[in-house]
Amino acid sequence: MSNIDLRFKHRPKQFDGLIGQNGNLSIVQRAILTRRKAMRIVFSGPYGCGKSTAKDITATGFHCNNPNPLTGDPCYICEGCRMRNFIFSSHLYLEFDGTTFNTEQYDYMREMLVYDTCGKFRVCVVEELHRLNITLQEKLLNLVENPMFDTTVFIIVVANDNTYKVCEPLIQRFTHIKMLVPSTQEIINWLRTICQQEGLPVKDEEALSMIADYSQNIPRRCLGNLEKFAILEEPVSVDSVRKILDTRG
């Protein structure tokens, strides 16, 4: 059994690993494959459903020199992928946290965006963009609209249904991808596969359903709860779920 936290080990690196999206990400995949310019993408949805993971795969896909020709998944071995994964901030990849974003960071973003990319795609990300005040959102709109940055992929991440907190002129410039909560059966199938990979015995199928229900079908919560069983090396059963997760019924 692995000694790595399951939330880290099983974080997807391909689009199809984001369970329950039912083709929801096909627009992003197609944009990567066609190297579509002036892409502006917003990922929204509940915490733990893959917004930031989708953002990471998308960003790496646009930097990848050899994306999968069918899925747009990054190869993770080319120079572009290595740059994305080992250099957190450069003129080709910029990421900001909306909870701390301020005028100085906006000025830094604007200065970095003028660097010549030599035809390569640049990715600029703002997480939790709905936390920005209206003045900063309007400033960002100026960059998003600038045709000079047509090889810059702007990605914003908005928690839950907070897109209404993003000013209308800005949100209208973005292709909205709403991450979905998987069905119970999708979660059960996924958890069963992970248990098999981890060598974690599943004694009762109902136990997986209980974990899904206790976690409200949120993938990251499911992994966090399954991590408890992995640490304790406890078989997954109805009794152990009730004991470890303190469920009733």
Mean of the per-residue pLDDT values of the chain: 93
Dist CA 98 CA 44 (whole Å): 14
pLDDT > 90? residue 80? no
Q: What's the angle, vertex CA 224, arms to CA 219 and CA 230, rounded to 5?
A: 120
pLDDT at 1: 61
Same domain, 186 and 82: no
pLDDT over 90, % of the chain:
86
Q: Does residue 102 sit within a domain?
A: yes
CATH of the domain at 226: 1.10.8.60
Which of 178, 199, 228 is the C-terminal boundary of a domain?
A: 178
Helix (H) or strand (E) holding 33: helix 26-33
DSSP single-letter state for residue 147? G
Residue 44 CB contacts under 8 Å (≥ 6 apart), including other chains: 51, 157, 158, 159, 160, 161, 162, 163, 176, 177, 178, 179
- The CA distance from 73 to 233, in Å, is 34
Q: Are residues 48 and 144 in the same domain?
A: yes
Question: Has this prediction a pTM greater than 0.85?
Answer: yes
Beta bridge partners of 176: 42
pLDDT exceeds 90 at position 70: yes
Q: Find, among 90, 87, 109, 88, the residue nearest to 98 by Cα.
A: 109
pLDDT of residue 120: 87
pLDDT (mean) for 107-112? 94
pLDDT in tens, 179-225: 999 999 999 999 999 999 999 999 988 999 999 999 999 999 999 99
pLDDT at residue 69 greater than cutoff 70: yes
- For residues 36 and 158, membership in a common domain is answered with yes
> Which residues lie closer than 8 Å to 54 by C-beta, 6 or more apart?
15, 18, 25, 28, 43, 177, 179
Q: Domain range spanning residue 154?
A: 21-178
Q: Are residues 85 and 98 both part of a single domain?
A: yes
**Residue ending a domain, choose from 178, 198, 232:** 178
Q: How many domains does the chain have?
A: 2
**pLDDT value, residue 249:** 47
